[in-house]
Structure 1
Amino acid sequence: MSPRFVISGTDTGIGKTVFAAALTHALRASYWKPIQSGLEEETDSAMVERLGGAPRARILPEAYRLKTPASPHLSARLDNVAIDPALLLPPETEGPLVIEGAGGLLVPLTDELLFADIFARWQIPLILCARTALGTINHTLLSLEALRLRAIPVHGLVFIGEENAENERVITDIGGVRRLGRLPRLPEMTAGALHQAFARQFDLADFLEVPA
């Protein structure tokens, strides 16, 4: 069985799409963004294709593409779209699969359903992306509590940003979660620079484990 991962974050805009691109490249995986909110700028799928170097065939189509850059529940309402959770089923792929959520774990898909509720249904190992900067301890530990409350399997934690050894230590110790590595902010965001940074900072073997 090939590895499958959900990528989520402690907040929006922390760099989880960049990490998803790096992991998609490293695993030669397919990538799926269930819901894309905001179409005027580069979408997450387009970014993963560009930075991850994945062929178009491995960038799987979103279940919903919403125009307004907002929380999916609001974006869908403004676009007069009804999100049907039954359509949010992870696609079957021949090889590894990387799935990326939107924003943080408790972002609402509808007025009744959060992304974390969908992740709990899927039971796919989740990689949580967190900042290294001030405020990350609280945000990350709260996110880990939300995951455990819903019995979502946590594969590990990825830090994004400049090194902050104390923040990283205390989060992994108190949170009881594995540190997978840290992706630094890159002065030039190119596919080559991203792939090199991933190779330096992460052990690919940590992502080849398949739960029994």
Structure 2
Amino acid sequence: GILLESLNKEKNIKNIENTSPWRFKHSLSPDMASRIEKKDINFSKVVHFCKHRILEAKKLNKILLIEGVGGMMVPINNDYTILDLIKKLDISVIFVTRNYLGSLSHTLTALNVLKINNIKINSIIINQENKNSVNIDETKISLAKHTKNIPIYLFKLRKKALSSQLDNLIETM
């Protein structure tokens, strides 16, 4: 519902199905949630769905965002991860990370996995959901020293400001 709201779309079953055909009651990785709820996730169908949406967006000259449901190494099912999906779709990524103690190591490790797999990193977003002891501006400075030529954006999340922050990001791409 939050995603539809941010897109100014009505919250109805048709729009929910079009936006997110694979949904689960449990907030877990897709492989875990599907196992608990006894619903299979067919990787080929996920790829087909995404490719169809990519072609639609290109025809309409629109931007399409495909969310990575928790990170690139998250299992989709027993055989595939989000990284496999990114590779299969041959798309670049907007890498989203959070600002916390340890995030630099986690972020640089993940970015290295993308680099090893020849995946283009379009930009990096650092989310700050809550106040913490790690300064988000300092995190950006440290991260930038290791990610030359990749734009880094800071999102200091406040629900009302999020929409305009997203609009600004999309305009710069």
Give the structure-1-normalised TM-score: 0.64
In the aligned structure 1, how far is the partner of 2:29 from the partner of 2:101? 24
Q: Radius of gyration: which is bigger? A: 2
Residue in 2 aligned with 1:8?
none
Structure 1 residue runs without a partner (length 5+): 1-45, 208-212
Residue in 1 aligned with 2:114?
147
Match of 1:110 among 62, 77, 101: 77
Match of 1:75 among 30, 33, 44: 33
Identity among equivalent pairs (%): 19
Aligned partners of 2:140 and 2:152 also within 8 Å: no
Q: 1:102 Cα shift?
A: 0.6
Higher strand share: 1
Question: For the structure 1 residues 62 and 164, does the alpha-carbon distance in structure 2 shift closer, same or farther, using more than 3 Å as the test?
Answer: closer
Larger RCO: 1 or 2 (CA < 8 Å, sep 6+): 1
Aligned-residue Cα RMSD (Å) equals 2.3
Q: 1:173 Cα shift?
A: 1.8
Provide the secondary structure at the position in 2 that maps to 1:53. Answer: coil
Post-superposition Cα deviations, 1:77-130, rounded to whole Å, max 9, x if no partner, equal 112222111111312322221111111111111122111111111111200111
Structure 2 residue runs without a partner (length 5+): none
Question: For the structure 1 residues 52 and 169, does the alpha-carbon distance in structure 2 shift closer, same or farther, using more than 3 Å as the test?
Answer: same
Residue in 1 aligned with 2:6?
51
Post-superposition Cα deviations, 1:34-82, rounded to whole Å, max 9, x if no partner, equal xxxxxxxxxxxx1111133246687624232223221111111112222
Q: 1:196 Cα shift?
A: 3.4
Q: Structure 2: which amino acid aligns with 1:82?
A: D
Give the structure-2-normalised TM-score: 0.77
Q: 1:151 Cα shift?
A: 1.6
In the aligned structure 1, how far is the partner of 2:23 from the partner of 2:100? 32
Provide the secondary structure at the position in 1 that maps to 2:146. Answer: helix
Higher helix share: 2
Alignment partner of 1:129 is 2:96: yes
Q: Structure 2: which amino acid aligns with 1:168?
A: K
Q: 1:198 Cα shift?
A: 4.3
Q: Structure 1: which amino acid aligns with 2:153?
A: G
Aligned residues: 156
Match of 2:22 among 61, 64, 77: 64
